Structure 1
Amino acid sequence: MTLRPLAAVAAFTAAMLAAAGPARAQAAHPCATDAVAHARTLLAFHFGEDTELSVDDTAKAVGTVKALQGEGRFDVLEVWGFIYKAEYRTHFLYAQIPDTCALMGQEILEASDPY
């Protein structure tokens, strides 16, 4: 049985992808642990120290934003937090300075539909 050239390429590509196995996990951002700690602190600041809250133990890099001054950029790390039935998305902006976790900004937003 002979395969047409395009079918042969498709079969070869499928075989190579199957042999490759699962993709490698993306390396964690160097400031991920710092962002998780700040998420807990930020939620406690807004809702009180005695509030029962939980925070995901992972921070996800969701992109970069331009610095307000100069040509620099900030990495944006996202951490989800939970208080009772409410979910909160927190973002932490870190300066792209090697070997440091210079926190430059933070935001918190409740994930709900107010309308």
Structure 2
Amino acid sequence: MRRILRALALIAATGPAATAAVAAPAPSCAAEAERQALKLLRFHSDGDARATVDPASVRSVGTVASLVGTRRFQVIEAEGSIDKGDYRIRLIYAPMPGSCVLMGQEILERSDPY
């Protein structure tokens, strides 16, 4: 709920520029990222068939520096779930013309263990 309120406040504060950013096209590796996110989620759940990824949640969240050299990698985030567990999945791609080269992946459960 807080996330939605924060997004609405940002749109109201910045006007049309924020609306254009929200309506941005899907990242170039979005379809590949969605498939890879589902594979990663199933891997972490020992192949549980209840694992799903929300296609509407797939979005670019910026870039990260490569570990070697001065290039940057694209980070694509997706939301997934297994039964009652919710997960944030981030996939890191090297931007290359005509291909999506997966360089890293991260999966975190959305829960409070304390």
TM-score range, shorter chain: 0.7 to 0.9
Larger CA Rg, structure 1 vs 2: 1
1:22-80 alpha-carbon deviations (Å, 9 max, x no partner): 64720111100000000110011110224412111131100100000001100000011
Residue 55 of structure 1: aligned partner: 53
Between 1:22-31 and 1:69-78, the stretch displaced more is 22-31
RMSD: 1.8
1:53-109 alpha-carbon deviations (Å, 9 max, x no partner): 211113110010000000110000001100111110000000022221011000100
Please report the TM-score for the alignment, with normalisation by the length of structure 1. Answer: 0.76
Residue 101 of structure 2: aligned partner: 102
Aligned residues: 96
| Structure 1 portions without partners, runs of 5+ | 1-16
Among 42, 45, 56, the alignment partner of 2:43 is: 45
After TM superposition, where is structure 1 displaced by more than 3 Å over at least 4 residues in a row?
A: none
The change in CA–CA distance for 1:50 and 1:83 in structure 2 (over 3 A counts) is closer
Q: Percent identity?
A: 47
Residue 70 of structure 1: aligned partner: 69
Structure 1: distance between partners of 2:50 and 2:111: 19
| Structure 2 portions without partners, runs of 5+ | 1-14
Structure 1: distance between partners of 2:63 and 2:46: 30
Greater helix content: 2
